[in-house]
Structure 1
Amino acid sequence: MDTDLTVGVEEEFLLVTADGALSAMGPAIADNTAEPDGELQRELARCQVEAASSVCRTAQEVLTALSDMRGRLARAAARRGGRLVATATPILPQNSPLELTPEHRYRRMAEHFGEITQTGSTCGCHVHVRLPDRETGVRIASHLRPWLPLFLALTANSPYTEGRDTGYASWRQVLWSRWPSSGPPPVFGSLDEYEASVAAMLRSGAMLDRGMLYWDVRLSDQHPTIEMRVCDVTAEPVVAAMAAALVRALVARALDDIESGRPPIAVPTEVLRASFWRAARDGLSGSCLTPDGQSLRPAVAQLRDLVTDLAPTLKALGDEDFIDSTLHDVLESGGGAKKQRDAYARRHDLADVVDEMVVAG
């Protein structure tokens, strides 16, 4: 077992006013909030802010770091009369177009991609796991690829957008798929193949720079990591920490499989996309295809099976106790989308949903 498989998590949040409307305070909060451990970043939309955890060695460290960063951002928003909201799409209808962060790169994106840029107010959760090298990372991505829909189901947290119920647990996934460089990555035989595809996408104009490679698993250009990007920002930090633990364990198992010559689960891209759609619609409360695409099973049952299968790896990485102590409550909760819909059901008022998803300072 590689004991140097450190992990980190990035979370994107929406900022709203007291009445729930999107607020343009994102750049001010990112630029002026203290960062004792971790990093704050501007995002495409002024109503967003991103928090990146420090480098962690256990899921408990991830949870501590994310809880601290959420609290600091919530207090910074409150000082400016706003609120930090852990939802992956805006809940209430907006009266004006999305206001972009005034940076040259974001202006270029708006000019080049037009209306697609208006999907920039979606909020994701990205898990980074340290890589031994980029060539190995390409092979690991093929092993992670079949599990992407299950992680989407676990974290789905965007049933409402612009004042309406979309009928999906993760509307963010549907919106984000509009970007031409998004979606599950192809299966590559080498790093050269990976880089050739990236170069071709840049030549086509589907990306303006390498930072716009939006595959749901990619090699990070900023860190020596593989990055899973399929998750919605989660309603509770414990879900993000659980996802981080499971992704890291899958990376560790992939390394063992690669060393032993075991191939990844083969799943055609069209089947994987169908599984994405089902996971986005149903979320944690419903069903999705198994990683091999052969059957439809409840997401909760698949997650329990995955934890059982990964138990020796989780133990070796020091995360077994964390998963054992949190798994039941996380899975029984039904997920972030259910939490939002339950809040709406009480009085049929979307303002209650906003209140439910506000992060406490």
Structure 2
Amino acid sequence: MSEARLDTRERLLRTASAPRDLLSVGVEEEFMLVDTGTGRLADRAPDVLSNADAEGVDLQAEITLSQVETASGVCLSMGELREQLVGARMALGEQAAMYGARIIASGTPVLARTSPLMLTPVPRYHRMNREFRALVGDLPVCGCHVHIGLPNDEARVLVSNHLRPWLPTLLAIGANSPYCNSSDTGYASWRYLMWGRWPSAGPPPWFESAASYYAAREEVISSGAAIDVGMLYWDARLSAHHPTVELRVCDVAPTVDDAVMLAAIVRGIAATALASETPALAVPQHLLRPALWRAARDGLEGLGLDVRTGELAPAGNLAAALVRWIRPALEYAGDYELVNESLARLLLDGSGAARQRAAFAREGRFEDVVGFLADQTCPV
């Protein structure tokens, strides 16, 4: 182990005296409902969620009637998180099957709609429709949101700042939306480009303090770009309802194992940030936004923009560099083998986007992609 890694590990041990002091983690997953027969979006969320309480998992409505969301509890181990995510997907899949639907983990709908978009009948969503107009028509899109529990707002801002340089790499790792409305977008994460049209979306600024964060949040709301704190759609943000920092940059993960890997990496970044004596790199927005565009276009299989150097590099190499940086934190949490093996598998088998394209290439049918996604999302 290098001297630098030994130093980082010692600081980690000083900030967390025992495994029970590991940072907590939770994951929210958004899914699309598709008709079992046609594979097209199915507006059946109210039916699917009608018996949610009896399932013993947190199942929630989303902005459209063809979307549903699950939320894990607060977890300390990746094994616990995996168990909860498997249980939630299985419960949701069983509920969907009762109403002739399946769930798919894709950032965008593969097949085009044949009926008008239907919003969930909640006043807030209809206000969003009035205020933001055709932007709502771009929905549904589905993401994976990772929450990391942190002791105070200053720690959450610190972690947000350290997440910023790695947002493009995390986006590339989680890219899972190459198709949208029966066409190939040419991107690995079309969801990110669609979501980026919202005026309160995109990478967060670098903040000097929690006070500066909250001042910026109020300015965004005052401008009308967000109707409330829940509409602050930055790629990383301080949760409005939980004592967490929330990563929002990634498409919904195709499998539970992909989601757990992502959660372990994000927790590793947070733990490394807390132990680091070096301030987060204040990447300028004019460099970070092109890096995110590049990651959305090329995904894990292409080139990424290294924001530390301003030069292009294989996205897989950037992902490996991220894992090297957070390795002491991963080892302390017992997550290093999980992340290292999962990333190796991802580089070998392909990202979610690459796997969708491989499914299409077999017969050239978008319906086959939907079937592949359904089987991958919730194996029977």
Q: TM-score interval w.r.t. the shorter chain?
A: over 0.9
For residue 285 of structure 2, what is the aligned residue in structure 1? Answer: 269
Q: Does 1:126 align with 2:145?
A: yes
Residue type matched to 1:328 in 2? A
Aligned to 1:242: 261
Letter in 2 for 1:123: C
Question: Contact between 1:4 and 1:130, CA under 8 Å: does it hold in 2?
Answer: no
String of CA shifts for 1:118-175, please: whole Å, max 9, x gaps.
2230000000000110122112211111100101100101001010000000000000
Amino acid at match of 1:105: R
> Can you list the C-alpha shifts for 1:52-81, whole angstroms capped at 9, x where unaligned?
111111222222221221111111111111
What corresponds to 2:124 in structure 1? 105
Distance 1:276 1:79, change over 3 A: same
Instruction: Describe how 1:1-361 pairs up with structure 2 within 5 A.
Output: 1=12, 2=16, 3-18=21-36, 19-34=38-53, 38-257=57-276, 260=277, 262-358=278-374, 359-361=378-380
Gaps of 5+ in 1: none
Q: Which runs of 5+ in 2 are unaligned?
A: 1-11
Kept in 1, the 8 Å contact 2:287–2:307? The answer is no
Asked if structure 1 preserves the Cα contact closer than 8 Å seen for 2:323 and 2:340, the reply is: no
- In the aligned structure 2, how far is the partner of 1:129 from the partner of 1:208? 25
Tell me which moved more, 315-324 or 155-164: 315-324
Amino acid paired to 1:294: G
Structure 1: which amino acid aligns with 2:282? A
Whether the 8 Å CA contact 1:125–1:232 is kept in 2: the answer is yes
When normalised by structure 2's length, the TM-score is 0.91
Shift of 1:30: 2.9
Task: Output the amino acid matched with 1:28.
Answer: D
In structure 1, C-alpha distance between the alignment counterparts of 2:56 and 2:81, rounded to whole Å: 11
Partner of 2:5: none
Note the C-alpha offset of 1:293.
Answer: 4.6
RMSD of equivalent CA atoms: 1.4
Rounded Cα–Cα distance in structure 2 between residues aligned with 1:140 and 1:264? 8
Could you give the per-residue CA deviations for residues 340-359 of structure 1, whole angstroms, max 9, x where no partner exists? 11111111111000000003
CA distance in 1, matches of 2:343, 2:182: 32
CA distance in 1, matches of 2:371, 2:78: 28
| 2:316 aligned partner, one-letter code | V
- Deviations 1:327-349, CA, capped at 9 Å, x for gaps: 32122121011111111111111
Partner amino acid for 1:320?
Answer: Y
Are 2:157 and 2:209, in contact at CA under 8 Å, matched by a contact in 1? yes
TM-score, length basis structure 1: 0.96
Q: Aligned partners of 2:191, 2:302: CA distance in 1, in Å?
A: 17
- Which whole-Å CA distance do the structure 2 matches of 1:48 and 1:17 have between them? 12
Deviation at 1:216, TM superposition (A): 0.4
Distance in 2, Cα, partners of 1:277 & 1:210: 25
Superposition deviation, residue 307 in structure 1: 1.7
Structure 1 residue 319: Cα displacement: 1.1
User: Aligned equivalents of 2:58 and 2:198: distance in 1?
Assistant: 26
What's 2:7 paired with?
none
Deviations 1:311-337 (A, max 9, x none): 221011121232244332122121011
Contact 1:127 1:244 in 2 (8 A): yes
Q: Deviations over 1:221-262 (max 9, x none)?
A: 1111000000000111111111110100100111112xx3x1
Deviation (angstroms), 1:295: 1.8
